[in-house]
Amino acid sequence: MHETGATEQEAREHVRYLIHETWKKQNAEILKPYPFSKKFMGIPMDLARTAQCFYEAGDAYGIQDQETHGRLASLFVKPIPLQDI
């Protein structure tokens, strides 16, 4: 923002645009043929979804509230058993 003189609103819209474009690239990439299983190729997409979920409403890591604590606990303390996948 400081380098370009953009307003906060313009910066936020630009970041949303970048996120949208990145998702389009990732979705196109996942459709290409690779020698790996679909489950294995889904891991980076799941990580990206998790990161977006944590940060879409602000800094969910640095400012930990009960909602973020619950999300982290559900991911790492109470993981989904692999046999259910």
Nearest to 82 by CA among 25, 36, 43: 43
Q: For residue 42, what are the contacts with CB-CB under 8 A and spacing of at least 6?
A: 30
Q: What is the structure's pLDDT at 40?
A: 87
pLDDT at 17: 94
CB 45 within 8 A of CB 52: no
Tokens 């819209």 belong to 13
pLDDT in tens, the chain (85 residues): 678 888 888 988 998 899 899 999 988 988 888 898 888 888 888 888 888 877 776 665 566 566 667 777 777 777 677 775 5
